[in-house]
Amino acid sequence: MIGKLGQTSRRYRDDARSATSRRLVIGATGVLTALLTVIQIAAMPAGPTPVRHPLAQGSVWDSVYTAAQAARGEATFRKTCAACHGDSLKGIDDAPPLTGTEFHKSWDGNSLSAIFTKINNDMPSDNPGTLSKPQVAEVVAFILQYNAYPAGKADLAASADSLGGIKFLPKP
C-alpha cells in the first residue's frame, strides 16, 4: 500500500510540475507575442502613407519641398514676380501662367531643373539673374505648393543639377 501511495503522490507532484511548466510556457509565449507586437507597431511609419502618383519615380509628388520654404518663396514671389504673373499665378499679358492647364501643358514631363534654370537665368524679366539660388528654390517651392503638390520634411535643393531627377507629373 505504501508503494502505491508513494507512486500516487509522485504522479501528483509530476502533474503539478507539468501544469506549472505549461503555465510558464503559455505566459512566456504571451509576453513574447506582446513584445513582438510592440516592436512591429514601433517600426511602422507614423501617419498615413502618402499617396504616390502612379508614374512617380522622383517626381513632384514625392514631397520635395517644405511648407516653410514655400512661405519664404511666396514672399519673394509677391515682391518680384506677382507684377507680371499675378497674385493668382495665372499670368498677366505676356507672362505665362504658373498654375492651371496651360502651365501643366508647358511643364508636365519636364524636370524641376528646367523651371529652376528658367527662373534663375531669365527672371525677373526686368532684372534677370538677380535672385539668389536659394531664392529661386523657394519660389519653385511656392509654385509647387500653389499647384497643390505635397510638402515634405526637406527643403528643395538650390541647384539645377540636384533637381534633374525630379519630374513634373500631372495630378493622377
pLDDT tens, position by position, 13-25: 666 666 676 676 6
CATH architecture of 60-163: Orthogonal Bundle (1.10)
CA dihedral 111, 114, 116, 121 (to 10 degrees): 170
Q: Which residues make Cβ contacts (< 8 Å) with residue 143, sequence separation at least 6? A: 73, 77, 89, 98, 99, 115
Residue 59 sits at φ, ψ, to 5 deg, of -130, 175
pTM over 0.85: no
DSSP-derived secondary structure for 47-89: SPPPPPPTT-SSBGGG--S-HHHHHHHHHHHHHHTHHHH-TTS
* pLDDT band, very low/low/confident/very high, at 132 (cuts 50, 70, 90): very high
Closest to 113 (Cα-Cα) out of 66, 69, 159, 62: 159
Alpha-carbon torsion (66, 71, 72, 76), positive or negative: positive
* pLDDT band, very low/low/confident/very high, at 171 (cuts 50, 70, 90): confident
List own/partner pairs for 23-28 with CB under 8 A and 24 or more apart: none
Q: Cell 502505491, residue?
A: 4
pLDDT tens, position by position, 79-130: 999 999 999 999 999 999 999 999 999 999 999 999 999 999 999 999 999 9
